[in-house]
Amino acid sequence: MTSAETSHAVAPGTLADRIVAGHFGVSGGQLSIGGIPADALVTAHGSPLFVYDGDMIEARFDVLQAAVGRFAKVYYSIKANPNPAVAALLVARGAGLEIASGAEFKLAVAAGALPAEIIFAGPGKGEDELDLAIGAGISEIHLESFEEIALVAAIAARHGCVADVAIRINPGAEAQGGAMRMGGRPAAFGFDEETLGDVIAAVAAQASLRLSGVHLFAGTQILDAEVVLRQWTHGLRLAAEVTRLSGRALDRIDLGGGLGIPYHDGDATIDLARLAAGAVALDRSRRADPLLASAEVLIEPGRYLVGPCGVYLMRVRAVKQSRGQRFVIADGGMHHHLAASGNLGQVIKRDYPIVAASRMGETERASATLCGPLCTPLDTLGRQTTLPLLAAGDIVGVMQSGAYGLSASPVGFLSHPMPAEVLVRGGAHRCIRSRGNFDEPLVNQPWRR
Ligand SMILES: Cc1ncc(COP(=O)(O)O)c(C=O)c1O
């Protein structure tokens, strides 16, 4: 990680330039990812392609864990990138995992996590999913409704165990912040902070539940360390309140994820030094508070750990002019990378950082609209790009693509092939999900009969 990562200031140059200079590199005119040129990766694994730099994932975990230090243990929110090879790097580094489905539980276990290192949140968990996780001895279930309190209690009783549970709290307005808010307003997630007394009573009434924690997660893509610290402070205050109301010490205080990364020119990077200083102060006050002294604090970021480590590579299929505008049409698009097309909840569609991965350093550039192969104008990844004069066969890279990429995209839309995923580590690359045809699983389905 470069010094730019700890600085709040926006450095000169385009974001794409800074990202390439800071974390990637250029060799022979090619974008290089973990030391491997883009054309070698595309030749070996096909196009389009997600590539993740495993060394960088490990480094980001280490830097963040060091920054929050004694204050909090870092869990990885596997929804950001559920490929088990990616999660396995973080598990081996000491991360716990936060999951949101039964399938994510299986992926977490496949990645090497022990059930005792996994926590499970989500507003509408299914009985089969809970049964799987509780039966396997998951560390903690995060309760989000009164129905779920009864369901988890019944499942735990069936398994003859007492399940550790946390109350997920939808915090009050002062904890707001971030691009997509999950709390601090009416929301489907968790229980409103104002109803805590009733929730604690409902949990206490179940003999097969043990109140072990609280969980807050107010929003994602927060670029301001002060907002994060305000939410953490509020989380500790609520944890003390739950301890007081329930009359028992908590094991865990989960302060959520939400640390953001820059996607657009002008976006700041989160001030890690400020976060670290704030964490020291919070740690001191938590340890001094008898209501909180014995609890472990954790945070569960996803995007921050893996987002900057991924690149989505596509080959150009055609370049054409339409009424004076240049269109570059690639073999990849919104069906693999919805977020980069601006259709994953963004109000304003702004381009991710885009590079001409096979023509790095070329100075002759012109504006271009970068489109995917789908028959919809939504399939546009670059609205205001300035790219070299690309031709069919060239490679384009969308940076900051390691989080909420493939698994957050409508891969079935128009039934194009699924892209491969590749992990680069220690100068070597390996396929961690092979290319596939979307139609393959369907052709032998019951519709034939
Ligand atoms: C409960 C929970 N925890 C953690 C995360 C990870 O958020 P981020 O990737 O912004 O860190 C999410 C994302 O939606 C979430 O819902």
DSSP states along 396-438: EEESS-SSSSGGGS-TTTT-PPBPEEEEEETTEEEEEE--B-T
Residue-range definition of the domain harbouring residue 270: 121-301
Q: Does 234 lie in the same domain as 141?
A: yes
Q: By C-alpha distance, which of 231, 142, 226 is closest to 181? A: 231
Ligand 1 centroid–CA 336 distance in Å is: 20
Asked, for residue 448, whether it belongs to a domain, the answer is no
What CA–CA distance (Å, rounded) separates 370 from 353? 12
Assess whether the C-beta atom of 121 lies below 6 angstroms from ligand 1.
Answer: yes
Residues 201, 153: contact at Cβ < 8 Å?
A: no
Instruction: Say how many Å lie between the CA of residue 256 and the centre of ligand 1.
Output: 7
Q: What is the pLDDT along the chain (449 residues), one digit of tens a residue?
A: 333 333 344 455 799 999 999 999 999 999 999 999 999 999 999 999 999 999 999 999 999 999 999 999 999 999 999 999 999 999 999 999 999 999 999 999 999 999 999 999 999 999 999 999 999 999 999 999 999 999 999 999 999 999 999 999 998 865 555 554 555 678 899 999 999 999 999 999 999 999 999 999 878 999 999 999 999 999 999 999 999 999 999 999 999 999 999 999 999 999 999 999 999 999 999 999 999 999 999 999 999 999 999 999 999 999 999 999 999 999 999 999 999 999 998 878 899 999 999 999 999 999 999 999 999 999 999 998 999 999 999 999 999 999 999 999 999 999 999 999 999 999 999 999 999 887 776 777 777 66
289 and 318, same domain (yes or no): no
Do 313 and 276 fall within a single domain?
A: no
- The reply to whether 220 and 323 lie within a common domain is no
Closest CA to 135 of 148, 152, 149: 152
151 with 17, same domain? no
What ligand 1 atom has the least distance to the C-alpha of 307?
A: 9
Is the C-beta atom of 220 inside 6 A of ligand 1?
yes
Q: How far apart are alpha carbons 128 and 125 in whole angstroms? A: 9
Q: How far is the CA of 77 from the centre of ligand 1 (A)?
A: 6
Residues 344, 219, single domain; the answer is no
Ligand 1 atom closest to the CA of 303, numbered from 1: 9
Domain boundary among 301, 336, 353: 301
Picking from 301, 334, 357, the residue at the C-terminal end of a domain is: 301
How many domains in the chain?
2
End residue of a domain, out of 277, 301, 325: 301
Same domain, 240 and 326: no
* CA atoms within 13 Å, Cβ hemisphere of 333: 24
**Separation CA 34–CA 427 (nearest Å):** 6
Probe ligand 1: pick from 57, 76, 79, 191, max atoms within 8 Å of CB? 79
CB 104 near ligand 1, within 6 Å: no
304 Cβ neighbours under 8 A, 6+ residues apart: 60, 64, 257, 259, 260, 261, 270
Do 167 and 287 sit in the same domain of this protein? yes
- Are 296 and 317 members of one domain? no
Q: Which atom of ligand 1 is nearest to the CA of 257?
A: 11
Q: Is the CB of 303 under 6 A from ligand 1?
A: yes
Secondary structure (DSSP) of 118-143 = EEE--TT--HHHHHHHHHHT-SEEEE
> Is there a domain that residue 114 lies in?
no
98 ligand 1 Cβ < 6 A: yes
Report the relative pairing of strands 420-425 and 428-433 from DSSP bridges: antiparallel
Question: Angle at the Cα of 103 (from 98 to 109), degrees rounded to 5?
Answer: 60
In a domain, 40, yes or no: yes
Q: How far is the CA of 390 from the centre of ligand 1 (A)?
A: 37
| Same domain assignment for residues 220 and 126 | yes
168 shares its domain with 222: yes
Closest CA to 421 of 9, 47, 16, 33: 47
Find out whether the beta carbon of 48 lies less than 6 Å from any atom of ligand 1: no
The reply to whether ligand 1 has any atom less than 6 angstroms from the CB of 101 is no
At 442 the pLDDT is 72
Q: Is 54 in the pocket of ligand 1 (CB under 6 A)?
A: no
User: Does one domain contain both 152 and 277?
Assistant: yes
82 in any annotated domain: no
Ligand 1 contacts CB of residue 302 (under 6 A): yes
